[in-house]
Amino acid sequence: MPMSEAVQFFTKEVVKELNKTIVVLDTETTGFSQYTDRIIEFGAIKLVNGREVDSMSVLMNPQMPIPSSSSSVHGIVDSMVADKPTEQYYAPKIAEFLKGADLIVGHNVAFDIRFLEQMFIRNGLSFNYKYLDTLKFAKKIFKYAPNHKLTTLAEYLNIEIKDVHRALADVETTVWVLRYLAYQVMKY
């Protein structure tokens, strides 16, 4: 089964691809294993020619308790997802949202990709996209940032943060980080 492929180098040609259809996304999960844990929040913004054309933000019932260690990171607790639809409902809707994307972008996005791939497999869907990890390239381009966590980069780049560790808010921040990265690549 073909799997998604990471962009290895952030070049001027890749920046030009950002003018196509890209989806910047983030997930919040019950834990770290794409096999035993589940997505509980999916957030995404679709950009065409650099402009936002659509967004998606959903909470989903993982059909398992959310560990307190996970809730302490993103603030999502069992009662917030108890009456939400499950991944069986949302997987096709997320697949439809991603349809036509030339590139998926996220901060430490390989984590999200692994979870999405497994969710799609469980639901009989295919997930095969080229993706760009802003974390990987921020480490190379913003070498002097105190660290490369999304919140630290936002502060370093003077990006306003709305709601840390919630999917759509993290996506909005990632869009700005991506723009700063693209600007740096095009400068030289």
Q: Is the pLDDT of residue 2 over 70?
A: no
Q: Is the pLDDT of residue 1 over 60?
A: no
Sort 3 into a burial class: Cβ within 10 Å, 0-12 / 13-18 / 19+: exposed
Non-local (6+) Cβ contacts of 76 within 8 A are: 28, 40, 41, 59, 66, 70
pLDDT of residue 120: 97
pLDDT of residue 164: 81
pLDDT of residue 162: 82
C-beta separation of 142 from 99 below 8 A: no
pLDDT of residue 136: 97
Q: What is the pLDDT of residues 34-70, one digit of tens each?
A: 999 999 999 999 999 999 999 999 999 999 999 999 9
C-beta separation of 86 from 117 below 8 A: no
